[in-house]
Amino acid sequence: MPVLATKLHVPAPRPQAVPRPHLVARLNAGLNAGLHRKLTLLSASAGFGKSTLVSEWLAACGRPAAWLSLDEGDNDPIRFLTYLVAAMQTLVEGFGSGVMGQLQSPLPPSLEGVLTALINEMTTLPIEGLLVLDDYHVIDAQPVDQVLTFLLEHLPPQLHLVIATREDPQLPLARMRVRDQLAELRAEDLRFTQAEAAAFLNQAMGLDLSPEAVALLETRTEGWIAGLQLAAISMRGHQDPAGFIASFTGSHRFVLDYLVEEVLQRQPEHLQAFLLATSILDRICAPLCEAVLGRDGGQETLNVLEHANLFIVPLDDERRWYRYHHLFAELLRQRLLQSAPKSGEEGSVAAYHRRASVWFEENGMELDAFRHAAAAHDLPRATRLVEGEGMPLHFRGAVAPVLSWLASLPAADLNASPSLWVMYASALLFVGQMPGVEPKLQAAEAALEGALLDERIRDLIGHIASIRATLAITRHEAETILHQSQRALEYLHPGNLPVRTATAWTLGHAYELQGERAEARRAYSEALSNSQAIGHIVITLGASTGLGRLDEAENKLEQAAQTYRRVLDLAGESPLPVVCEAHLGLARISVAWNDLDAAERHARQGAQLARHLESTDRFSACEEVLAQVIRAREAAALLEPLSARELEILRLIARGHSNREIGEQLFLALDTVKGYNRTLFDKLQVQRRTEAVARARELKLL
């Protein structure tokens, strides 16, 4: 998926912002408290000026800074890390380029591998910089919190993390406080003082209020900056500002509701319509607004909104992209839902979302197009966007929103479009949630009962069989893999190259399990050729690994090792979990070559990746190779190898023969047998016959 540059834009200090030198000094103190201080946290509810303060601080602190504005889509850890690396690249050109390639690969990579590579690269940063994560409160996914916790725990001293959020993140804050690794500002620190409120109201907002009126308004808003701003906008042109302030009471929530009403009612009708319609958008630009509203004049309206300070925030220096203040946008959406016509009518919320979806698709932003189609409840359009042109959307970095959408659909919608059940199963298989796959396939088959077997339905049946073949691979069920693969190839449309290519790979796996190496090689070669032609990286890796296993089985170890190494090179610095098979193959070959260090390294890397694969035995296979390495190293407890005669005596001891019986059988004197025993025990580093037998069994000498 493309990286949106506006999310990485460092906001410039606002020209009319009230200077807050005492808070900037506190932020600097936290930054310079020592190398062990890792995190600065600004935590307060909406409208307390967190982002504005951080931008003021960055302009004066003298350190380069990377900025990432988070949104709900960043709850996917892969997307979160993609944007984090992109933000770091604004500090150091080319940072994490290898990791970025893996993050944007079709199959999610190993998060642990990605994080390790990131931290290793962070330790080589040539500068001391800041990384700002703005609006972290939108993150409600535990995997993302775990990713950030891991980064914090291993953060090198060159980098300092800054988080601005409406609520405390699920990070180990208490432990960091105890260790003095945390600097923080909260709502009580961020509230405007009376002097700051006076400067803001009378200078920035252009009012002429008495000190008494400022003090009263500051008390009523409790120094809440957004409340002061809303009050100031409402008072513009008011005949009795003092009376307005005197009647201004209530909690933040009720005050804000009241002020939004005041703000909206004072705007021209066309401007109200613009605000309400475009509130469905996370970010806005003139052409997008014009598309949603169905009329021109978008840039002029945005200029008016910015000039009037109507809670619009520029996202770039060219003033092309903007966003609304989050809470202001939330309240606009509430008002839109209350006032808009019913779905299907002009001006409905669904109509706005549908127009936004069309614009995003036309401009190459397919994920945003899908999200708005889903919000419009436009099932055919959302389905088409998810299916994509040749490669489904969830294969291109959007598996989390696709799964979330599918989970939200009622069974009736899924039954009406059985391809959605198949898509659901495919997405679950993609993220390794194996137990949920088969029920979705069965639901698809139930929905297809009685359907006319046209090309589309036949292709769907073939896709179901292909998914079942892949499931059977995890259980090594050769007959099932073969049957389902052949069924898939029988039904799949000739033009469905991604699924046909995947099926050629599963067919090769079935032949391999059955010992039919020639047929397996043919199928793997076909899968490899087609996957390279269409850019299906996962099948390229799988088919190449299969060919390596065939070479290994035929004792072509050097050729197999070269194939496995090509797989690792293709996978890059932070490989996909399925690459564990290549590491496992290299570990086995290294054992055969008695290169125990290489065998251990590959077995451990394979085991680390295999942990991310559910319902497979690859982790235990790696553990078995590690056990072989340990046994081989122990065999190497020996001071010198056992002689043929010593091995012969050892076997007779294991069978329970006495020293006298051994001497009689081997025509040796009793003292000679005892001498052999002493030498044997010394080499095995034991003292008794039973210990010698046990040790020999451990070393596979018997």
Are 260 and 230 in contact by the 8 Å Cβ rule? The answer is: yes
| Res 601: pLDDT | 93
pLDDT in the model for residue 293: 93
Is the CB of residue 75 less than 8 Å from the CB of residue 141?
yes
pLDDT > 90? residue 60: no
Asked if residue 30 lies in contact with residue 40, where contact means CB atoms within 8 angstroms, the answer is: yes
What share of the chain in percent tops pLDDT 70? 94
Residues with Cβ within 8 Å of 187's Cβ and at least 6 positions away in sequence, in order, are 43, 44, 45, 48
Quote the pLDDT of residue 256. 66
Which residues are within 8 A (CB) of 350 and not within 5 positions of it... i.e. 6 or more apart? 343, 344, 375, 376, 377, 378
pLDDT by residue (tens digit) across 267-324? 888 999 999 999 999 999 999 999 999 999 999 999 888 877 677 888 887 888 998 8
Q: What is the pLDDT of residues 62-79, one digit of tens each?
A: 899 999 999 988 999 999
Write the pLDDT tens digit of every residue in 653-686: 999 999 999 999 888 899 999 999 999 998 888 8
Residue 328 has pLDDT above 80, yes or no: no
> From CA 185, how far away is CA 41, in angstroms rounded?
6
Q: What is the pLDDT of residue 575?
A: 64
Residue 636 binned pLDDT confidence (cut-offs 50, 70, 90): low
Check pLDDT > 50 for residue 201.
yes
CA distance 626 to 630: 6
Q: Is the pLDDT of residue 639 over 80?
A: no
Q: What is the CA radius of gyration of the chain?
A: 33
pLDDT of 449 above 80: yes
Tens digit of pLDDT for each residue in 614-623? 667 888 888 9
Residue 251 — very low, low, confident or very high, per pLDDT cuts 50/70/90?
very low
C-alpha 393: how far from chain center: 15
pTM for the complete prediction? 0.68
Low-confidence winner among 88-102, 361-375, 396-410, 511-525 (lowest mean pLDDT): 396-410
